[in-house]
Chains A and B, each alone.
Chain A
Amino acid sequence: MELSLDHRTESNFTVLEVGGEVDVYTAPKLREKLVELVSDGHYRIMVDMTKVEFLDSTGLGVLVGGLKRVRSHDGTLGLVCNQERILKIFRITGLTKVFPIYDSLDEALQDLA
């Protein structure tokens, strides 16, 4: 399965909806998208990972890169993820302490409003 990337504005956030598989083959597209969003002045990003089928360390690295980019503009990058198999890799790598992670987009947008 390929990677799908769509972004839209919701409340005062840019929601980046990611779907499919994020691995060494597809991660460069996600990196490119995050770089493009930050270059265009989107510094408050919520990555919706609800439709992600697979994510490995290459994808984690890209998300960390995105977080560093928005933080350099005093921005924020949060994640929406309710899939245990993906949450688990954030726990193993300690990244649950680094990213704000929400069960749903509604919860994320309310918390950060």
Chain B
Amino acid sequence: MTDHVELRVPSDPAYVGLTRLLVSAGARQAGMAGAKVEDLKIAVSEAATNAMRAHRQHESKEPVTILFRAHAARFEVVVADAGPGFDPQPPTAFRDWRAESGLGVTLMRHLADDISFSRKNGMQVTLLFDLSRPSGNGVVE
């Protein structure tokens, strides 16, 4: 028996809101606290947006796959696309505020308790949330 939920979402920005809604319902059911669910919603939105952008840039008609599960007091979300992948920028202390893009990876790194990127027939982003760890206040040290 499978231990996860898998969604295949049309690669259309109109579905990012529905994706957030479904994954956050799963997280609440797993016992995630309210403020942490808000963090998860943003991180999932960023990952799904990047995946859909990759599909659009490479004219892929494939759906984006989102898988989630709760295990060992953690909630895991995997967002996979069929694009060629990208090299995630390492965290940097300085960033030009005038840049209008590139903030998504920064937000995912801060809002998830752990994040990893891998290439498997496309890009795969894994976001991990520790259910017992409280949500932070966003202050960057």
- Residues of chain A touching chain B, judged by Cβ–Cβ distance below 8 Å, are 1, 21, 23-25, 54, 56-58, 60-62, 64-65, 68, 84-85, 87-95, 97-98
Judged by DSSP, the binding face of A is helix
Interface residues on B, range: 20 to 34
CB contact between B45 and one of A56, A64, A65, A85 (< 8 Å): that residue: A56
Bound complex: CA A76 to CA B41 (Å): 30
Offer 8 A-B interface pairs, CB within 8 angstroms, sorted by A: A23-B17, A25-B14, A57-B103, A62-B100, A64-B97, A85-B38, A89-B107, A93-B107
Mark out the residues of chain B between 94 and 115 whose CB falls within 8 Å of any chain A CB in the assembled complex: 95, 97-101, 103-104, 106-107, 110-111
Bound complex: CA A71 to CA B87 (Å): 33
In the complex, what's the smallest C-beta–C-beta distance from B72 to chain A, in angstroms? 27
CB contact between A61 and one of B45, B100, B137 (< 8 Å): that residue: B100
CB contact between B140 and one of A21, A60, A94 (< 8 Å): that residue: A94
With a cutoff of 8 Å between Cβ atoms, the chain B residues found around residue A25 in the complex are 13-14, 16-17
B20 at the A interface (CB under 8 A): yes
